[in-house]
């Protein structure tokens, strides 16, 4: 598994713009189309937003983002160091898009090919794993 | 992200520039809700908008619902690129009135 990116940021909304820039650059190096880069960047932003809003709930903390390339997939790991969340937090609600809440999670599921929570390292925090198939012909 | 508000025909137009995310969407929300609360239909100009996240989209939905309740409207103009993709992904491009340019909006 080849690591493409490792970044650590404070869990603060002012950091989101920098995180998006780094995700875009990493996705360009993986030969995704502009359309896919837009959507993957959106999804990582949404995941970071959820960490800031719900995992840390306004408290200070850190977000670690790692991107790996492995056997035809890009693998994104987003780690926080907040209280462990229940897997049910990743369940989609069936509310209308015109109702508040849950939109970020819906976007994550629509764009990514695989979504799961991994057991945290050192028994603290959460690791969200997202996978997206690489464009055909881009794998070496 | 910056925005400029001006009058266009009988609408209030809010032109957004740059990227809307959780950091700045509360500013956009405050501005949009104030426009509708004061009894104006609103046009949101996306022509210079390069990014919008779900908090920005939620703001649009909230404003759209408020406008509808007040017999007013919210129209999006000039969406393309990443912001248009988000609207399409959520199917909200079929909910919000969408126009390519201001020229398509009549008095």
A140 band by pLDDT with thresholds 50, 70 and 90 = low
| B54:A17 CB<8 A | no
| B95:A98 CB<8 A | yes
- CATH of region B2-104: 3.30.750.24
| B21:A42 CB<8 A | no
Q: Hey, where are the domains in chain A?
A: 2-133
pLDDT in the model for residue A137: 75
Instruction: Quote the ipTM score.
Output: 0.92
Burial B76-107 (b: 16+ CB within 10 A, else e): bbbbeebbbbbbebbebbebbebeeebeeeee
| A97:B61 CB<8 A | yes
Give yes or no for A4 touching B (CB within 8 A). Answer: no
Burial A23-46 (b: 16+ CB within 10 A, else e): bbebbeebebeeebbbbbbbbbbb
Which has the minimum average pLDDT: A74-78, A95-99, B30-34, B98-102? Answer: A95-99
State the architecture of A2-133 in CATH terms: 2-Layer Sandwich (3.30)
Give yes or no for A54 touching B (CB within 8 A). Answer: no
| Mean pLDDT score across all residues of chain A | 91
- At A47, list the tokens: 């995941």
| A103:B57 CB<8 A | yes
Closest residue of A to B95, CA-based?
Answer: A98
A16 band by pLDDT with thresholds 50, 70 and 90 = very high
Give yes or no for A45 touching B (CB within 8 A). Answer: yes
């Amino acid at each position: 598994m080849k690591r493409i990116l490792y970044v650590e940021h404070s869990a603060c909304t002012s950091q989101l713009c920098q995180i998006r820039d780094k995700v875009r650059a990493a996705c360009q190096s993986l030969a995704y189309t502009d359309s896919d880069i837009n959507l993957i960047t959106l999804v990582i932003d949404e995941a970071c937003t959820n960490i800031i809003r719900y995992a840390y709930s306004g408290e200070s903390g850190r977000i670690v983002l790692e991107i790996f390339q492995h056997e035809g997939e890009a693998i994104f790991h987003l780690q926080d160091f907040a209280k462990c969340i229940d897997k049910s937090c990743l369940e989609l609600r069936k509310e209308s898009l015109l109702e508040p809440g849950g939109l970020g999670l819906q976007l994550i599921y629509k764009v990514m090919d695989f979504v799961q929570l991994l057991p945290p390292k050192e028994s603290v925090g959460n690791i969200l794993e997202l996978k997206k198939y690489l464009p055909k012909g881009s794998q070496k | 992200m910056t925005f400029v508000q001006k009058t266009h025909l009988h609408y209030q137009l809010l032109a957004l520039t740059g990227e809307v995310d959780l950091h700045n969407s509360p500013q956009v929300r405050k501005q949009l809700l104030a426009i509708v609360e004061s009894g104006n239909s609103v046009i949101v100009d996306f022509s210079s908008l390069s990014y919008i996240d779900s908090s920005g989209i939620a703001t649009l939905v909230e404003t759209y619902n408020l406008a509808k309740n007040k017999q007013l409207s919210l129209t999006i103009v000039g969406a393309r690129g990443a912001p248009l993709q988000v609207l399409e992904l959520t199917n909200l491009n079929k909910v919000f009135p969408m126009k390519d340019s201001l020229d398509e909006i009549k008095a």
